[in-house]
Amino acid sequence: MDASALNFTDVSKVYDGAGSAERYALRDVTFDIAPGKTVAIVGRSGSGKSTLLHLAAGIDVPTRGSVAVYGAALNGLGETERTRLRRRDIGFVFQLFHLLPHLTVRDNVALPDLIAGVRERTYRERVAALLERVGLPDRAGDPVAGLSGGEMQRVAICRALLRRPRLLLADEPTGSLDDASGQVVMDLMLQMVAEEGATLVYATHSRELAAMADRTLRLHSGILEAESDASE
């Protein structure tokens, strides 16, 4: 039986506050996500959604509790080991794209392999196939600065999927887009994740977009308040 794609067990993230006070970004959060599932994280701004995703990606570490990705406990890994695991198994899509404006569309998609020193012939076909999938093959040589917001997010999704991650995390992936562009991007991301056989966990403030997931986890002030299943 496969390990869980993502497991949080009694996870708390605490930051120092003013004076001796502590501020909980997450408090005693526990959940388990099976491989291949799509899960929406919902909650108001400041509820802990981004913190949860950063912990899931190994960008940050919990104050208490444990986080595991496909059976690998992130708590026991050093920063270098977490970076290796992230490059191998995890993709991340940011709300503000995080593309490099001086690079072409093609090079932005290929960036993870460029940073790793991978030869172009190794990733050339993969990049071309991803851009074809999102309808941007003719923009491959263009600088990303000339793209619309929706097009930039499609490039960001391609970059996140370049190395075929088993877990894709997305932090308000449509938050900077208008409703029409956001729906197109969300539909495309869900389709591509299904085709790749990946697990998707995404944060959103939209009830409509959350309803597209298999499950919904609701955060309130850092506490996992409720869970719903698409089948209910």
State pTM to two decimals.
Answer: 0.92
Task: Supply the pLDDT for residue 28.
Answer: 97
Task: Supply the pLDDT for residue 170.
Answer: 96
Question: For residue range 191-210, what is the model confidence (pLDDT) as tens digits?
Answer: 999 999 999 999 998 889 99
Question: For residue range 75-104, what is the model confidence (pLDDT) as tens digits?
Answer: 888 889 998 899 889 999 988 889 999 999
The per-residue pLDDT of the chain, averaged, comes to 91
Task: Supply the pLDDT for residue 75.
Answer: 86
CA 202 vs. chain centroid, Å, equals 6
Task: Supply the pLDDT for residue 3.
Answer: 79
**DSSP labels for 20-74?**
T-EEEEEEEEEEEE-TT-EEEEE--TTSSHHHHHHHHHTSS--SEEEEEETTEEG
Task: Identify the sign of the CA torsion 224, 56, 59, 96.
Answer: negative
Does 117 have pLDDT greater than 80? yes
Task: Supply the pLDDT for residue 21.
Answer: 74
Find tokens 């609701």 and name the residue: 218
Task: Supply the pLDDT for residue 151.
Answer: 94
The domain limits of the chain are: 6-229
* Residues found in the chain: 232
Q: Has domain 6-229 been given CATH number 3.40.640.10? A: no
Task: Supply the pLDDT for residue 230.
Answer: 62
Of the listed ranges 166-175, 188-197, 223-232, the least confidently predicted one is 223-232
Give the HSE-up count for residue 9: Cα atoms under 13 Å, Cβ half-sphere: 10
Q: Which of 40, 50, 37, 35 is nearest to 211 (CA)?
A: 40
Question: For residue range 17-51, what is the model confidence (pLDDT) as tens digits?
Answer: 666 678 899 999 999 999 999 999 999 988 999 99
Tell me the average pLDDT across 140-157: 94
